[in-house]
Structure 1
């Protein structure tokens, strides 16, 4: 894959991934594994991550995890240490888009569901991982955010608000944890050619998703969505020692969407 960190750059590292069955999660898992990392792959349902782990072979294990559950986050970190002996990094990638619609149409249930996964799931993941990262002598935390974390987007108020919250969480954690040798960063994709964008497109204008996509693309300087592999390449870099001097940063992988 073009743009990956150097071969073997993650040799001996143990990394936990949430949302690993999704497009970005799977692409990043394959990239990290190719660089020598051992992986605990998690998602809400076991089937997808088990298939992924089986396809990778050695140095890959799978586990069903609900990131909105504190107990599941604790069990996830414990399982990684038991399986591989340590945790050196965690990629908090799980997220949901929620329902698309006007601000006033989103009730408490919608907001609470989005925040449970996108904000509290990240908070729980960091808090659960910290003791293991400290035992390992430091490490790295990477969060999948979004262009929605740095700008507004009509019709996506719960999602956009959750991603702004995650940006604040990332920067605060980076400021606090740097002294311990723990780096915290975010990768912020623009529209990605995967399931989540199909869902958003179809919700914006049911039955006319392709037209909605054309409207999005018309506002992107590179004239296209980014790919799962392009996001994965940046995530791999940020989780590797090649990014040892980087913390508190948000890396835009958005084909230039936020350039104007």
Structure 2
């Protein structure tokens, strides 16, 4: 399939490699926006034709402008933005959370998403329409003790997404949100900066309806749908992909 032939997609965040590979496989030109040049360049080199790396600090408005300009200069247009960059705070109660931690998490997760929408909207308009997908979290749909900065940032992304959908819809720009649950990435298997344990050290999917961790490809398949023409009537929507996590523990079947 080549659903994205002649389209250009900008994907942010070092954990978006599954998304990048899938868009590229379906015919897209892909700009990889990452703050870590070695990681992003390696992925672009691996994919070869139709893949480029641009160093992107999502908290810096000028860096965003340069990334969007690079996409348009290299490939002629920008058609899809995937705001995937995000970081987790080390778990701590609100009373023990440093303001510097709070600011860092919101700068990357929320301000980075805001700046991405702001920078990409004119380019998407020049392309006569396009799609923005913001990657949020199930933590943006409910409170979670000891993760106040992350939870606050992801709740705010929901409101930002819906506002952008209202503002940009008449320009044929759709804006939606994906809320992943616990996905098997380094985000889950490695401790956050300043933390001593990874989320996977104390989380088990066993009690839930689908008793496994999500895989990056699970999210990628949903992302490809939302950014394709198949989803042309969907905007301002929220898609939960969590294996039933938010439903709570599943009842065990009674023996016959």
What displacement does 1:202 show?
10
Q: In the TM superposition, what is the alpha-carbon distance from 1:219 to its structure 2 partner?
A: 4.2
- What is the RMSD of the two structures over their aligned residues, measured on CA atoms? 1.7
* Conservation of the 8 A alpha-carbon contact between 1:16 and 1:89: yes
Structure 1 gap segments, 5+ residues each: 1-6
1:230 aligns with 2:218: yes
**Using the alignment, how far apart are the partners of 2:12 and 2:198 within structure 1?**
31
Shift of 1:210: 5.5
> Quick check: 1:213 aligned with 2:203?
yes
Q: Which residue of 2 aligns with 1:3?
A: none
Q: Note the C-alpha offset of 1:55.
A: 1.1
Residue 171 (str. 1) matches residue 162 (str. 2): yes
Please say if 1:56 is aligned against 2:14: no
**1:7-59 deviation per Cα after TM superposition (whole angstroms, max 9, x unaligned):** 1111111111110x31xx00011111111110100111111111111111111
2:146 counterpart SS class: coil
- For the pair 1:78 / 2:91, whether they are aligned, the reply is no
Q: Which has the higher contact order (CA 8 A, sep 6+)?
A: 1
**3-state SS of 2:85 partner:** coil
Partner of 1:15: 9
Of 107, 122, 126, which residue of structure 1 is paired with 2:117?
A: 126
- Give the structure-1-normalised TM-score: 0.91
- Tell me the distance in 2 between the aligned counterparts of 1:170 and 1:202: 27
Given the two structures, how large is their TM-score scaled by the length of structure 2?
0.92
2:180 pairs, out of 173, 176, 189, with 189
- Asked if 1:253 is matched to 2:247, the reply is no
Runs of 4+ in 1 over 4 A off after TM superposition: 200-204, 206-211
5+ residue gaps, structure 2, are: 249-256
Contact 1:80 1:87 in 2 (8 A): yes
Matched residues in 2 for 1:97 and 1:29: separation?
A: 22
Closer/same/farther in 2, CA of residues 207 and 95 from structure 1, 3 Å limit:
closer
Secondary structure, counterpart of 2:39 in structure 1: helix
Q: Deviations over 1:108-146 (max 9, x none)?
A: 101100011000000000000111011000100011100
CA distance in 2, matches of 1:194, 1:236: 19
Give the conservation status (yes or no) of the 8 Å contact 1:201–1:210.
Answer: no
1:141 aligns to 2:132 (yes or no): yes
